[in-house]
Structure 1
Amino acid sequence: MEQKNELLITNKSELADKVKEAQQEIGEFFGQAMGNFFNNMATQSQYKNVAIFVDYDNVYWTLMNNYQHNPDHDDPEKNLFEKLWAKYGVDNVRTFKAYADFDRIETELTSLQKKRVQIRHVYSRGKDDKSKKNSSDIELCIDAIESTYKDEKISCYVIVTADSDMIPLLSRLMYKGKRVELYYVPDGVSKYIDITTYAHYSQNLLELLNVEIKRYNIQDYIIPALEFIQQWWNHNKEKDDRFLGAGWLVEKFEKIFSLPSTYASKLLDELQIQDYVHQVNKKFKGEMKPSLALTEKGEKYLSVAMTEVAASSD
């Protein structure tokens, strides 16, 4: 009888423990569920008033020069503006601005306007396109900070950039209690500062825009480049209205070899490092202008290469 009572007590004790464990599990489940619910509600609330600021000058040139990728791509899956609208929604975005010197960028303004993008044209100064200093990033920062005072309802700031100079802005917005989301191009930001630590959420633009990353071997273009320079001199040596400048040559490398600007510049640098080309004076409209030409070493290298190609084709 005593053994039977002890067994009964033991069973009750085990049952009580199981009930307690079940209660704890149910409590944890509902606690987690409620926590997720309120977190989702908070996140949705933050996305009700979104402001998007695009440092278009830096983003455009970084993507074009390194990957030949136009941010306003024909394919919606590769288009910056289409992707951002798809994520944040037309009902939530209160302002969507793109900053650039649009006189220099090969972008159709009508295309951006149809996408409901507010264009902020910022004149850049400098003696030529390559050396112009653009202040669009400064204008962007001023407008973003001003908006925190003019429209305090904006809860989420989306910054799109390829420039580490945006870090002070990102930091200031976070101090003001705003949610900050960052889209960036790694090639354009500092390798010594992790810009992603200054945002609640960040994403690489190369991934967002499905950018095709090609690998270029500069050595593959050495001979064709030397051949082009030689042909240019054969056709223009006696003409006094033309000279072969570095900027023009880099642009020709881009078009002829379908190279991004960055790699076209690297190709010319490699030709000079290897002492295949150098500067000579060429008569141009009564004056002498520095002009790139093949060195003796470059001519010899090209001659040997062309002989080998001819021999292999026989």
Structure 2
Amino acid sequence: MKPEVEKDNIKILDQTTIDTEPQPRKEIDDAALLALFSDIMGQSTESALTSLSKKNQLDNVAIFVDYDNVYWTLMNNYSHDPNHSDPLKNLFVQLWERYGQEQVRTFRAYADFEKIKTELTSLQKKRVQIRHVYSNGKDGSHRKNSSDIELCIDAIEHTYKDPNVSCYVFVTADSDMIPVISRMVYKGKRVELFYLSNSVPKHIDMLTFANYSEDLLSFLNVSVEKVTIENYVIEALKIIQDWHIVNSSKDLFLGNSYLRKDFTRKLSIPPNTSSQLLENLTVNKLVEDGVKLMSSGDKKNSLKLTDEGTALLARAVDTAAPSKE
């Protein structure tokens, strides 16, 4: 008979030995654990403080819209009215949605409202403060307006009149706004910028001057369609030909400005595309300046088809005509 085992040994007869001594464990470095915990808490605290700081800065907001600049850029390039009937495409509705009516202290729009086709009552109902700034009355690249200057002066003055405003929002397509944006940042204000990417000069990184920036094309859900000028050439030639048929006996002449507007209306293309289309017709010698004699005896320059333009239109019409069997 095998001898009895002492209780302290716990070695059972004919069975596997059970070792009751504790296995060695890998010691945890208390200093490393503390450092890890501090790092996690530090990151969380920093993130929380950053979010809190941003939220506090957005509690008092002032919005300044260079409406003259934004309106004409959107209309000329995309036929998009900033005061769109669709709330998702409406500049003012979307800005109110973004910043909230309880946080906005002032909301101003600057433009020559005699030239812009916008209902002032509609803007006033949206609680927009209208600032009328007259222009020189000309169109296109010859048009000059000082709305951006008025806006900048008002924004700087506003920092003194209401120092509690912590965030300034600028809506513009003009790089001339960079100085006022920089000044706001130096004053410790948060600056948020809504811009148009195709209008910002390529050599100026305007976005680096603001704390936050967003392209108006995405903000307003603007439909951006790639336009191929060549697709409109035949229709444009037909418009010119039809105009002369209707007005040949009248004291009227066909000018560049009228024709561009006619292209925009009849072809449903943006004004800038109409200008490019007319330039294309001229460069390719499909249209030229003719002379029309008025009943008064005066002679007026009037655009007309060249022989090449007339021939191209005739071939297109023949091709489109159904074949006769």
Identify whether the pair has TM-score above 0.5, normalized to the shorter chain.
Answer: yes
2-side partners of 1:251 and 1:104: how far apart? 15
1-side partners of 2:242 and 2:128: how far apart? 46
Q: 1:103 to 1:312 in 2, by over 3 A?
A: farther
How large is the Cα RMSD of the aligned pairs?
Answer: 1.8
SS state at 2:194 partner: strand
2-side partners of 1:302 and 1:168: how far apart? 52
- Residue 229 of structure 1 and its aligned partner are, at CA, apart by 0.7
Q: Is the 8 A contact 1:62 1:187 kept in 2?
A: no
Residue identity in the other structure for 1:251: K
Is 1:123 the counterpart of 2:134? The answer is yes
Q: Which runs of 5+ in 1 are unaligned?
A: 1-6
- Residue 8 of structure 1 and its aligned partner are, at CA, apart by 7.5
Q: Percent identical across equivalent pairs?
A: 51
2-side partners of 1:76 and 1:235: how far apart? 41
Cα deviations across residues 16-56 of structure 1 (Å, max 9, x unaligned)? 32x54443332222222221221122111111111100000
- Residue 171 of structure 1 and its aligned partner are, at CA, apart by 1.4
Partner of 1:16: 28
Choose which of 279, 282, 285 in structure 1 pairs with 2:289: 279
Partner of 1:255: 265
Q: Which runs of 5+ in 2 are unaligned?
A: 1-20
1-side partners of 2:75 and 2:323: how far apart? 37
Please show how residues 71-86 of structure 1 align to structure 2 within 5 Å. 71-86=82-97
1-side partners of 2:22 and 2:175: how far apart? 72
Residue identity in the other structure for 2:119: E
Name which of structure 1's ranges 24-33 and 54-63 shifts more when overlaid on structure 2: 24-33
State the TM-score, normalizing by the size of structure 2.
0.89
Partner of 2:197: 186
Paired residues, number: 303
Please show how residues 221-300 of structure 1 align to structure 2 within 5 Å. 221-240=232-251, 242-284=252-294, 286=296, 287-300=298-311
Please show how residues 1-314 of structure 1 align to structure 2 within 5 Å. 11=25, 14-17=26-29, 19-126=30-137, 128-130=138-140, 131-240=142-251, 242-284=252-294, 286=296, 287-310=298-321
Residue identity in the other structure for 2:191: V
SS state at 1:189 partner: coil
SS state at 2:301 partner: strand
State the TM-score, normalizing by the size of structure 1.
0.92
Q: 1:137 to 1:313 in 2, by over 3 A?
A: farther
Cα deviations across residues 192-212 of structure 1 (Å, max 9, x unaligned)? 111101101100110111111
Name which of structure 1's ranges 260-269 and 298-307 shifts more when overlaid on structure 2: 298-307
1-side partners of 2:87 and 2:32: how far apart? 52
2-side partners of 1:228 and 1:80: how far apart? 35
Name which of structure 1's ranges 244-253 and 41-50 shifts more when overlaid on structure 2: 41-50
Larger radius of gyration, structure 1 or 2? 2
- Residue 312 of structure 1 and its aligned partner are, at CA, apart by 5.6
Higher helix fraction (1 or 2): 1
Cα deviations across residues 231-272 of structure 1 (Å, max 9, x unaligned)? 1111211212x1101101000100100000110111100000
